Amino acid sequence: MSALRFSDTISAALADGILVVTIDNAPVNALSADVRAGLMAALDHAEKDGAVKGVVLTGAGSTFIGGADIKEFGKLPVEPLLPDVISRIEAFSKPIAAAINGAALGGGLEVALACHRRHAAPSAKLGLPEVKLGIVPGAGGTQRLPRLIGIAAAIDVVASGRMVPASEALKLGIIDGVSGGALLADVIADIKVANAPSLRRTGHLSVRSETADAVDRAAADASRKARGQRAPSEAVRLIRLAATASLAEGLAEERRTFIELRDSEEAAALRHVFFAERAAGKVEGLEAVAPRKIETIGIVGTGLMGSGIAVSALNGGFRVIGVEQSAEAAEKGRDRIVGLLDKAVQSGRLDAAGREERVGRLTVTADMQQLTQAGIVIEAVFDDLIVKTELFQRLDTIVPAETILATNTSYLDPDAIAAATKLPERVVGLHFFSPAHIMRLLEVVNCKETAPDVLATALALAKRLGKLPIVSGVTEGFIGNSIFSAYRREGEYMLEDGASPQEIDAALEAYGFAMGPFAVFDMAGLEIAWARRKRQAATRDPSERYVVIADRLCEAGRFGQKAGRGWYAYPDGKKTVDPEVTAVIEAARAEKGILPKKFTAEEIVARLLKAMVDEGDTLLSRGIAARASDIDLVMINGYGFPSSKGGPMFAAGRR
């Protein structure tokens, strides 16, 4: 066996007539300029060397190829371009196969699709996730995939951007086999028997005929899920084109669309979100700190929040001990948790065996002593300082010193809770968002005394729960609710100044929010915020502008959708503008002598965005948030800010 090197990232070895070319470009073998040049050089060599009978492409480490190098987007393109490398692979005169050892995504799958044979390891995941970056596949994905698996199936895979497990990829026909044992040996054996005239070049296949109905259904489904984003509908258009256009025409149109979308604002925003997610949860100085090993999670309180956290923990593979105040409450809590698992089975997200296995890891009890087995105890009890501090003081006497104590408070001061315990360094905040088993966002609150390894453990735990952890310092409402309060306050100022709830909601919905703030308040219910305002009334700065409209609505029993009326009326469940609300708003303006002015949708968005950004800047300057991109992720994942705009901090920088 002789070792060859074609660039910094491409090496090869010839064994028994097969040149195994390895892409080694950590961390994910992205198709950088060096990889593309190295691949071209390897193909030149393989073409000329008579000893080479066939070629196998594979990736070093646990990834095959993670796609085009996203960091190169926005820079001048460097030749050879990926579509040229891929055309060269497909046209290669000798058999060429992909040994897909791990994720084959985007350009990575496009490389594999151009190979003459494709085998994958059982753990490999394949996909064309480009739409998640606001673009379409740009190196043949929309033209070659439908030639292999049909138009409807290709629409499903490309427009969703989902990861397809190897077993499904085999069923769909994306790959020729899943290797049970040694992938490379299997692929080499397979390619050795392939002879040049019988090679199957994906681009030469014709698209099989399908009923228009199946294609229309897949397209309609994709457009429903696209929620106004451009890339999925463009992907559908290009895939449909594969049925009628030649490969060359299809590739040219794909490339044109790819470039147009790549240079769009939406794609720039989604790229920002991609890198923001990778940066989130990284804390300077914490890289070398080893997290503690956690296998069992204790949860005190199994109401709405606690039961969601329990399901999230069960899904993450942990043992869960839920604690309630009485045997009866424990029984109810258990029913709530199992009920959530049953819902997941009904909706097809979980199978019956998975449910059984999870239930086997669940205990709900009234016996707090059982928490001695937990590595971390998360409290999800009533959000009251006395209730929470008393609970933590009790836990202090029960659980061992190395058990971490986490509070799920959303508004209380976790430093005050920690200060009331014997070991404040073991206290951390874990602010889950409701429903906790669905929402990805998790604010990890780094309290004044939190020990570094406690923070590192909380972050590792969040990852295992499949959450997106954002570290927040201690301030009322942490990052998310601080910004939300500023946004809410500005919305109410605008009401007084002349805008209506429906104008504000419509402006934000047109901007990309699924729902405007007043529709959200109605859905969540107005009474909790009202109770908070009443508690704060005595300490409020009298010189600060205060809008009474929300209080007046609550005084009139308008608590939102559940009450049948709030910022809107809901006759027969349908949201309708209510003249009574208009009258309350007009009266409030008149009391302050405010002459209402007209707002355009643009002005409304600009004012609300500015309020969010001003608050965001304050959080950054106080060190509550570590980076502006963390604030963007909180607002996107917890408060409905459109990801296609990149979050408030990013959007403000683009205006």
Window 566-595: residues binding ligand 3H9 (CB under 6 A): none
When asked if residue 232 is in the footprint of ligand 3H9 (CB under 6 A), the reply is: no
In whole angstroms, give the CA distance from residue 494 to residue 484.
15
Please return the burial class of 310, using the count of CB atoms within 10 Å of its CB with bins 0-12, 13-18 and 19+: buried
List all residues 6 or more positions away from 418 whose beta carbon is below 8 Å from its beta carbon. Answer: 392, 424, 427, 447, 448, 449, 450
Q: Write phi, then psi, for 15 (nearest 5 degrees).
A: -135, 120
Taking contact as CB under 6 A, which single stretch among the options 63-71, 143-151, 223-231, 324-332 is the one that binds ligand 3H9? 63-71
Rounded to a whole number of angstroms, the minimum distance from the CB of residue 30 to ligand 3H9 is: 4
Window 137-176: residues binding ligand 3H9 (CB under 6 A): 137-139, 141
User: One symbol per residue from 99 to 138: x for binding ligand 3H9 (CB under 6 A), - otherwise; what is it?
Assistant: ----x-xxx--x------------------xx--x---xx
Q: Match 């014997």 to its residue by tokens.
A: 422
When asked if residue 469 is in the footprint of ligand 3H9 (CB under 6 A), the reply is: no
Rounded to a whole number of angstroms, the minimum distance from the CB of residue 127 to ligand 3H9 is: 8
How many beta carbons lie within 10 A of that of residue 586, not counting itself? 12
DSSP letters for 287-342: TTPPPPP--EEEEE--SHHHHHHHHHHHHTT-EEEEE-SSHHHHHHHHHHHHHHHH
When asked if residue 30 is in the footprint of ligand 3H9 (CB under 6 A), the reply is: yes
Query: Would you put residue 285 in left (φ > 0), alpha (ψ -120 to 50) or beta?
Result: left
| Catalytic-labelled residue, pool 130, 254, 379, 503 | 130
Q: What type of residue is 110?
A: E
Candidate residues 64, 69, 549, 631; the one interacting with ligand 3H9 per rule CB under 6 A:
69
Candidate residues 63, 179, 389, 410; the one interacting with ligand 3H9 per rule CB under 6 A:
63
In whole angstroms, give the CA distance from residue 161 to residue 163.
7
Q: Is 496 a catalytic residue?
A: no
Q: Is 110 a catalytic residue?
A: yes
When asked if residue 186 is in the footprint of ligand 3H9 (CB under 6 A), the reply is: no
Q: Which is nearer to ligand 3H9, 26 or 182 (CB)?
A: 26
- Six-digit token string for 192: 């050795």
Q: Which is nearer to ligand 3H9, 67 or 638 (CB)?
A: 67
Taking contact as CB under 6 A, which single stretch among the options 67-75, 115-123, 406-414, 646-654 is the one that binds ligand 3H9? 67-75
End-to-end CA distance of the chain: 58
In whole angstroms, give the CA distance from residue 493 to residue 610.
13
Alpha helices in 525-647 (DSSP H): 527-536, 549-555, 579-591, 601-621, 628-639
| Helices 478-497 & 579-591 angle (0-180, nearest 10) | 80
When asked if residue 501 is in the footprint of ligand 3H9 (CB under 6 A), the reply is: no
Q: Which is nearer to ligand 3H9, 445 or 636 (CB)?
A: 636
Beta bridge partners of 127: 105
On whether the CB atoms of residues 176 and 119 are closer than 8 A, the answer is yes
Candidate residues 12, 23, 28, 428; the one interacting with ligand 3H9 per rule CB under 6 A:
28
| Catalytic-labelled residue, pool 90, 110, 379, 492 | 110
* CA distance to 98, 222, 331, 337, 457, per residue, from 301 (Å): 51, 40, 12, 12, 22
On whether the CB atoms of residues 59 and 65 are closer than 8 A, the answer is yes
When asked if residue 68 is in the footprint of ligand 3H9 (CB under 6 A), the reply is: yes
Rounded to a whole number of angstroms, the minimum distance from the CB of residue 63 to ligand 3H9 is: 6
Rounded to a whole number of angstroms, the minimum distance from the CB of residue 143 to ligand 3H9 is: 12
Q: Which is nearer to ligand 3H9, 131 or 495 (CB)?
A: 131
Window 267-286: residues binding ligand 3H9 (CB under 6 A): 275, 278
Taking contact as CB under 6 A, which single stretch among the options 68-76, 142-150, 354-362, 609-617 is the one that binds ligand 3H9? 68-76
Q: Which is nearer to ligand 3H9, 136 or 624 (CB)?
A: 136
How many beta carbons lie within 10 A of that of residue 454, not counting itself? 25
Rounded to a whole number of angstroms, the minimum distance from the CB of residue 136 to ligand 3H9 is: 8
User: One symbol per residue from 72 to 91: x for binding ligand 3H9 (CB under 6 A), - otherwise; what is it?
Assistant: ----------x---------
Q: Which residues form the interface with ligand 3H9 (CB under 6 A)?
A: 27-28, 30, 63, 66-71, 82, 103, 105-107, 110, 129-130, 133, 137-139, 141, 275, 278
Catalytic residues: 110, 130
